[in-house]
Structure 1
Amino acid sequence: MKVTDRQKKKFLKSLRQARIEAGLSQSDVARKIGTSQSFISKIESGRISLEVEIFLKLYQLYDKPAVYFFSAFSRK
């Protein structure tokens, strides 16, 4: 199955929005998961691929249900 550009953009937008709703800056997130602010920026902009391990850390940090991130892939 192919991931469309639209789905990817929606998923990345949900990552950014979850961070904002958690009241965290990119620097805050980077500090909490042990990476750099520029790395978080590159993930949110889609310039680098998101590894599962990093996603799981963000998922736990942002405390959102899985559907929040994966609604981009629903068949509606």
Structure 2
Amino acid sequence: MPSHHRSRRHQRLAELLAQYRLVAGLKQTDVAEALGKYQPLITSMENGQRRIDVVELLELAEIIGFDPHEVLDALMKTPKK
């Protein structure tokens, strides 16, 4: 999906997920396995091709070990467009 179809907040969320996963020392396959999904799904989330709903965000936070409130605060500070 071309980047002009994503909002800055959507792109920032994708960046944050990848960053938190890397800091946690997890591979995409680790996260996918914990979700009961396949690795390409995580790639799609991290490159912004797939939107993430709030329940998925909470599951990712539990698996990766980040505070979802910090992510939401960062997104609120990110310009909409």
TM-score (norm 2): 0.76
Structure 2 regions of 5+ residues with no counterpart? 1-5
Q: Does the aligned pair in 2 maintain the 1:14–1:68 contact within 8 Å?
A: no
Q: 1:74 aligns with which of 53, 69, 77?
A: 77
User: What displacement does 1:69 show?
Assistant: 1.3
Q: 2:3 matched to which residue of 1?
A: none
How many correspondences in the alignment?
73
What SS is found at the alignment partner of 2:44?
Answer: helix
Q: 2:46 aligns with which of 44, 47, 50?
A: 44
* In 2: Cα distance, 1:28 partner to 1:75 partner: 29
Moved over 4 A (4+): none
Q: 2:25 matched to which residue of 1?
A: 23
CA RMSD of aligned residues (A): 2.0
Report the identity percentage: 26
Q: 2:61 aligns with which of 33, 54, 59?
A: 59
Structure 1 regions of 5+ residues with no counterpart? none
User: What displacement does 1:13 show?
Assistant: 0.6
